[in-house]
Amino acid sequence: MNNIFSKTKIPKTIGVIMDGNRRWAKSKNLPTYEGHSAGYEKLKDFARWAKEAGVKNIIAFAFSTENWERKKHEVDFLLMLFRKMVIEEAEELKKEKARIIFLGDLDKFPKDIAVAARKLEEDTKKYAKNQTIGLAVSYGGRAEIISSIRKLVKEKGINAIGKIDEKMFSSFLFTKDIPDPDLIIRTSGEMRLSGFLPWQSVYSELFFTKTNWPALTKKEFQKILKEYVFRERRLGK
């Protein structure tokens, strides 16, 4: 990797829409929960691949506001996975020395998960210089913008509306501590962002792969990074 990429070409932030867990499970005649379990393990791999490549930040779309409407047994299993991550595996995750931030409405989760998630955020804050992983959970792009407006007005007052600029508004987003994604990857063949980071993604390079998320390999990830290097990013100029 080092002989392919210069530091100036490595994306500072990668966004990833981890789609295809259920399709992967179905293709292998496995129950849905096996796909979600495999997807969670793949995220750990992905974070390590990104770190090896020099990527400082990841924003992963883990659970949308719409996902609450899925069948109860599936939502319950996803909650079990979150509980496993923030409670049972918290100490193991800290050993990776990456800052973990939850982007979304944690109050929608059961109290034990929300409390543990906030503790994990606090405990890993010191690792921000190594790598930051933002997990978009109970997240929706429009909901984030509305939430940001409400927080801005509450803190700055209604009279501040006329003074709002992009920098000020961005400081009230869930992602205020993470640079906007240079690159967004979506797996499983869908070619849309589905409400993922609508404000932050305006100049992101987009990559779509038909590979289901649990089947993504390090080799394919490196191939995407190589293609990114050769894209010309004008950023509107």
* Residues designated catalytic: 19, 67
Using CB atoms within 10 A of its CB, is residue 149 exposed (0-12), middle (13-18) or buried (19+)? middle
**Distance (Å, whole) CA 66 – CA 74:** 13
Q: Are 136 and 61 in contact (CB under 8 A)?
A: yes
Question: What is the Cα gyration radius of the chain?
Answer: 18
Which residue blocks in 54-124 are alpha helix, DSSP H? 72-83, 90-94, 111-124
Supply 154's token pair: 């509450």
